[in-house]
Amino acid sequence: MADVAERAGVSTSTVSRTLRGLSTVSPEVRARVEKAARELSFAVSRQAASLVTGRTGTVAVMVPTLNSWFTGSALSSLAPLLRAAGLQLNVYEIPDLDERTAFFEHLPARRNADALLVFSFDLTEEETARLDDLGMPVIYVSQHVDGRPSVYVDDVAGALHGTRHLLNLGHRRIAFVPTEGASGFTFSSNERLLGYQQALTEAGVPLDDDLVVSTRTGSKRAAAEALGTLLSLREPPTAVFAEQDEVAVALVWNLRRTQIAVPERVSVLGFDDQPLADWFDLSTVAQSPSEMGRLAGELALKLIDDSDGDHERHIVLPTHVIPRGTTAPVAERATAPVEAGATVPVDVGATTRAATAAARDGQSASSASE
Amino acid sequence: MADVAERAGVSTSTVSRTLRGLSTVSPEVRARVEKAARELSFAVSRQAASLVTGRTGTVAVMVPTLNSWFTGSALSSLAPLLRAAGLQLNVYEIPDLDERTAFFEHLPARRNADALLVFSFDLTEEETARLDDLGMPVIYVSQHVDGRPSVYVDDVAGALHGTRHLLNLGHRRIAFVPTEGASGFTFSSNERLLGYQQALTEAGVPLDDDLVVSTRTGSKRAAAEALGTLLSLREPPTAVFAEQDEVAVALVWNLRRTQIAVPERVSVLGFDDQPLADWFDLSTVAQSPSEMGRLAGELALKLIDDSDGDHERHIVLPTHVIPRGTTAPVAERATAPVEAGATVPVDVGATTRAATAAARDGQSASSASE
DNA sequence: CTGAAAGCGCTAACAA
DNA sequence: TTGTTAGCGCTTTCAG
C-alpha cells in the first residue's frame, strides 16, 4: 500500500480511503490512486485490515458433506449473496464424529469469521453452548434450535401433507421408511415421522409399528431389505412414504425389478424433490435448499451488521406435495388375489371423499406454514 | 494472547511458541499454557499471524458451481486433506461471465490465500497470465494448461476407449452428442470428440458430421431434439455416445418413452460415471473427481511448501469403461424391418472379431493412460 | 528455554 | 480533503 501511495503521491491513509470507497476523497486524487493501484495490481490484505477493523470479511459454513444435492444447492445460492456483500466463503466439511470432535475442540472459526452457518447437524446442548460464545452470530440451517436464529423447513407439515395425499388416494396401509443417518447427523427423521403419524391419526388409521422400517441411504441393497420386511408382513402396505427421495427411488427400483408395478400395486412417495425424483417421475414432498441458503445468507448479513437488531430469528419454509407418477389411487384388491387376505377393506365413501380432498391437496400443501 | 500469557505467568512469546507446537518449550510450561488457553477458550487469530508470517493458512478454489456431482466430489475429498494440514478452504463460485469478469478484475484471492485451485474453466491466455502473477501457486483442475501445474483426466483416451467399446460390439453408425456449455466453461468437449474420431478412424469407419449433434445439459427436451435429429437421418445411428452421463440418461429416457428399446435397438454410452449412471444402469466411461480433488490438494500442499521444487506438475488420471445395461451388440437388422433401408450391412467376421475384442475391452480401458 | 522489543499492513482517530 | 500517529495481535529476531 505504501508503494501505491508513493506512486500516487499521497499518504497511505488516502489510499486506504480511496480503496474502501469512502466519499471523502477528491475525484482527482481518487483517479490517481486507482490508476496506481491498478498498475501495481495491488489488492488490500484482508488479514491486515481485519486486524484493525475486527472484522474478517468471511462467513464460515459448517456442512456434513459438500457432495450432496442439499448442500450443493444451498451453498450455490448462498455464495453469490456473500460475494455481492464482499464477503468470503469459508467451508468446514465435517463428515464424521472424529472431525466433529476436533472441530468443537478447537473451534477454528473463532476469530476467523464474522458469522457461522451450521448445516443439518443434530448438535448436543453442550455443542450449541460452545457455539453460543463463539463471539459471532451463528445461524442454524435446516434445523430448529430453540432461541437461536434458524432457517428450516416445516418437516412435520411436509410429512403430514404427504401422508394425507396417500390417504386421499385411498391408501390405509401406509409404510414409513426413515433413514438411520450417521449418529449425530439429523435428516429431520423424527419430525417427518411425527407428521406421518399425525396424518394417520387424524384420519382414524391406527398406527402400526411394523409399518415403520428404517434403512440406510444410498444403498439399493439396504432398500431391498427394508422392502422385504414390508412385503412379508401379514398385511403389507399399499403405499410407502420414504423420508428421502434417494430411498424412495431405491424402493421403486427394487419394486420394479421384482415386477411389482409402481404405482399400480404399490405407491411410493419421496421427500426432497431432488433432480433424481424428476428422472424417476417420483411423487414427492418438495423442499428448497437453495431458498434456505439464500434466506440464511440474508439473515447472516443482517446479524453481522447489527447483531442486536430485532430481526425475525426463525424462518420456516413451506413444503409442497408434487404428485408425479409413483402415487396412484389404491388398487382394487379383487385384481390382486395373491394378497387378497392381506387387504384392508376400502370404504367407498371414504374413497370418494378422498378423491375430492386429493384435488385440493397440492394447494393445501403449498400454503403449509407460509 | 496476552490474557493467556498472564494467566500462565509467561510471556506472549512463550504462548505463541507453545501454541505452534515448537519444541523449544519446557513440558511444564507447555502444560500451563495449554491449560490457560483452554480455560479462556483462546484461538489464535490467523489474521494477525498471517500478517507477520506472510502466510494466510488458506487455500482458495475457483469453481463454476458448487451444485454438481463433479465439484461436490472433488471438494469433498479435498477438504479433509486441507483440514489435516491446518488449512482453511475458501470457495469462489463463479457461475457466469459477469462474475468471472469481476473476479479477474479484482483477483480477490490475491494475498488472501496460499494457493489457488482453478476448476474446469476454459481460460483465455490473458486470464491465465493474470493468474500467473498472483504470487501464489495456481493449480488447474480438470483441465490441461501448458506449463502450469494441472490435474486432469485423459479425455481423449477415455472417449477413444468408449468408442472402441461400441465398435467392438459391432456398431458402425455411432453418434456423438457433445454439450454446448456456457461459453468459457469447458467440459472437455473437444478432447472427447477427438477421441471419438480417433477410434472411428483407426477402425476405418468414415467420419460423418451428421452423427455429431450437440445439446444442452440437464434438459430432457433438448435431448429429445438432438435425438430427433439423429433418428431422422437417412441412416440413423445404432449407438450414441454422450459426452456426459446426464445427457446420456436423458437420451435413454427419451428413447424408452418412444418405445425404442435400449440397448436392443440403440446402445447408449455416457461419460463420467456419476451416481445417476448407476441408477439408470448406464454404460459409461468413468472418471474420478474425488481422486482429482485429492491429487490436486496434495500438489497444492507441496507447491506451498516449496514452490520451486521439481514436483511432477502434470498429473493425468485414467478413465475406465464401465459396461452396464445400455450397451449391447448391434441388433440383427432383419428383425427391424422398419429401418431396414437405413442399416449398414454388418460383416459377420467383424462381429466375431468385435466380440473377442469386447471381452478384452474392460481391461484395456482400465489401463488407459496409467 | 524464556522474555523484550520490533514490526508485519492496515485503519481510525486526530490535526491540519 | 489530506496527513500524522498510534495501535490491532501476532511472530520473530536477539539477548539473556
Please judge whether B76 and A56 are an interchain contact, meaning their C-beta atoms are less than 8 angstroms apart. Answer: no
pLDDT of residue A305: 87
Q: How far apart are CA B110 and CA B104, in angstroms?
A: 11
Q: How far apart are CA A61 and CA A98, in angstroms?
A: 18
pLDDT tens for each residue of A203-242: 999 999 999 999 998 889 999 999 999 999 999 999 999 9
A137 pLDDT higher than 70: yes
Q: How high is the mean pLDDT of chain A?
A: 87
Bridge partner list, A239: A174, A267
Q: Which positions in chain B touch A89 (Cβ < 8 Å)?
A: 90-93
Which DSSP symbol is given to A26?
A: -
A263 pLDDT higher than 80: yes
Q: What does the block give as the cell for B223?
A: 435431448
Measured in angstroms, what separates residue B18's CA from nucleotide C3's C1'?
14
Bridge partner list, B270: B284
pLDDT of residue B133: 86
pLDDT tens for each residue of B176-192: 999 987 655 666 888 99
Measured in angstroms, what separates residue A39's CA from nucleotide D15's C1'?
43
Please judge whether B45 and A279 are an interchain contact, meaning their C-beta atoms are less than 8 angstroms apart. Answer: no
- Whether CB of B25 is under 7 Å from strand C: the answer is yes
Bridge partner list, A269: A241, A283
pLDDT of residue A369: 31
Measured in angstroms, what separates residue B29's CA from nucleotide C6's C1'?
25
pLDDT of residue B256: 95
Q: How far apart are CA B233 and CA B210, in angstroms?
A: 8
Q: How far apart are CA B105 and CA B55, in angstroms?
A: 23
Identify the residue whose cell numbers are 388416494: A169
Which has more pLDDT, B350 or A17?
A: A17
Please judge whether B93 and A108 are an interchain contact, meaning their C-beta atoms are less than 8 angstroms apart. Answer: no
Strands B115-119 and B283-286: unpaired
Which of the four pLDDT bands, split at 50, 70 and 90, describes residue A9? Answer: very high
Closest CA–CA distance from residue A198 to any residue of chain B (Å)? 33
By the 10 Å C-beta count (0-12 exposed, 13-18 middle, 19+ buried), A165 is classed as: buried
Q: How far apart are CA A107 and CA B42, in angstroms?
A: 9
Span A100-123, average pLDDT? 91
Which DSSP symbol is given to A334?
A: G
Which of the four pLDDT bands, split at 50, 70 and 90, describes residue A21? Answer: confident
Integer-rounded Cα Rg, in Å, for chain B is 26
Q: Which positions in chain A touch B79 (Cβ < 8 Å)?
A: 66, 91, 93
Percent of chain B as helix, strand, coil, to the nearest 5: 50, 15, 40
pLDDT of residue A310: 66
Span A264-270, average pLDDT? 98
The CA distances from residue A250 to A71, A215, B303, in Å, are 21, 11, 43
Identify the residue whose cell numbers are 505463541: B16
Q: How many CB atoms lie within 10 A of CB B201?
A: 11
Q: How far apart are CA A370 and CA A114, in angstroms?
A: 30
Nearest residue to B175 (alpha-carbon basis) of B256, B239, B226: B239
- Whether CB of A48 is under 7 Å from strand C: the answer is yes
A360 pLDDT higher than 60: no
A356 pLDDT higher than 70: no
- Whether CB of B259 is under 7 Å from strand C: the answer is no
Measured in angstroms, what separates residue A14's CA from nucleotide C16's C1'?
15
**Residue nearest the C1' of C13 (CA based):** A13
- Whether CB of A49 is under 7 Å from strand C: the answer is yes
pLDDT of residue A182: 62
C-beta separation of A92 from A61 below 8 A: yes
Span A325-329, average pLDDT? 98
pLDDT of residue B186: 63
Q: What amino acid is encoded at B362 in this protein? A: G
The CA distances from residue B217 to A76, A204, A349, in Å, are 18, 47, 47
Q: Which positions in chain B touch A112 (Cβ < 8 Å)?
A: 43, 45-47, 88
- Whether CB of B26 is under 7 Å from strand C: the answer is yes
Judged by C1' against the alpha carbon of B24, the nearest nucleotide is: C1
Name A residues 121-150 whose Cβ lies under 7 Å from strand C. Answer: none
Identify the residue whose cell numbers are 439423429: B230
Which has more pLDDT, B41 or B162?
A: B162
Chain C: positions less than 7 Å from a protein CB are 1-5, 7-13
Span B78-93, average pLDDT? 95
Q: ω into residue A263 within 30 of 0, thus cis? A: yes
C-beta separation of A66 from B66 below 8 A: yes
Q: Which positions in chain A touch B93 (Cβ < 8 Å)?
A: 75-76, 79-80, 83, 89
| φ, ψ at B331 (rounded to 5°) | -70, 150
The CA distances from residue A65 to A21, A122, A288, B75, B343, in Å, are 38, 14, 18, 9, 49
- Whether CB of B29 is under 7 Å from strand C: the answer is yes
**Residue nearest the C1' of D5 (CA based):** A13
Span A117-142, average pLDDT? 92
Q: How high is the mean pLDDT of chain B?
A: 87
Span A272-284, average pLDDT? 97
Find all residues with CB under 8 Å of B94, minimum gap 6, and list them.
B62, B63, B64, B100, B103, B121
Annotate A95-129 with DSSP letters as a single string: -SHHHHHHHHHH-TTTTT-SEEEEESB---HHHHH
A350 pLDDT higher than 60: no
A82 pLDDT higher than 90: yes
Which of the four pLDDT bands, split at 50, 70 and 90, describes residue B17? Answer: very high
Bridge partner list, B269: B241, B283
pLDDT of residue B308: 72
Closest CA–CA distance from residue A52 to any residue of chain B (Å)? 10
pLDDT of residue B368: 31
Which of the four pLDDT bands, split at 50, 70 and 90, describes residue B108? Answer: confident
Chain D: positions less than 7 Å from a protein CB are 1-5, 7-13
Which has more pLDDT, A55 or A357?
A: A55
pLDDT of residue A335: 45
A66 pLDDT higher than 60: yes
- Whether CB of A12 is under 7 Å from strand D: the answer is yes
pLDDT of residue A120: 87
Q: Which positions in chain B touch A46 (Cβ < 8 Å)?
A: 47, 111-112
C-beta separation of B245 from B273 below 8 A: yes
B252 pLDDT higher than 80: yes
Q: How far apart are CA B302 and CA A261, in angstroms?
A: 55
Q: How far apart are CA A116 and CA A126, in angstroms?
A: 17
Span A92-115, average pLDDT? 91
pLDDT of residue B43: 86
C-beta separation of A252 from A227 below 8 A: no
Judged by C1' against the alpha carbon of A51, the nearest nucleotide is: D8
Q: Which positions in chain B touch A276 (Cβ < 8 Å)?
A: 276, 279
The CA distances from residue B299 to B134, B140, B207, B307, in Å, are 18, 10, 40, 10
C-beta separation of B318 from B370 below 8 A: yes
Stretch among A112-116, B22-26, B132-136, B198-202 having the lowest mean pLDDT:
B22-26
Span A244-249, average pLDDT? 96
Stretch among A140-144, A184-188, A247-251, B266-270 having the lowest mean pLDDT:
A184-188
A130 pLDDT higher than 50: yes
Span A85-94, average pLDDT? 95
Judged by C1' against the alpha carbon of B17, the nearest nucleotide is: D11
B324 pLDDT higher than 50: yes
Give the global pTM. Answer: 0.87
pLDDT of residue B332: 73
pLDDT of residue A41: 85
pLDDT of residue A333: 60
Which DSSP symbol is given to A338?
A: G
C-beta separation of B308 from B355 below 8 A: no
- Whether CB of A25 is under 7 Å from strand D: the answer is yes
Span A303-330, average pLDDT? 89
Please judge whether A253 and B279 are an interchain contact, meaning their C-beta atoms are less than 8 angstroms apart. Answer: yes
| CA B78 remoteness from chain centre | 13
Which of the four pLDDT bands, split at 50, 70 and 90, describes residue A71? Answer: very high
* Percentage above 90 pLDDT, chain A: 71
pLDDT of residue A209: 97
pLDDT of residue A342: 38
pLDDT tens for each residue of B296-323: 999 999 999 887 776 678 999 999 999 9
Which has more pLDDT, B3 or B362?
A: B3
C-beta separation of B253 from B281 below 8 A: no
Q: What does the block give as the cell for B180?
A: 454446448
pLDDT of residue B284: 98
B34, B91, B291, best to mutate vs chain A, most A CBs in 10 Å: B91
Nearest residue to A267 (alpha-carbon basis) of A226, A239, A244: A239
Stretch among B77-91, B118-132, B333-347 having the lowest mean pLDDT:
B333-347
Span B228-255, average pLDDT? 97
- Whether CB of B31 is under 7 Å from strand D: the answer is no
Which of the four pLDDT bands, split at 50, 70 and 90, describes residue B369? Answer: very low
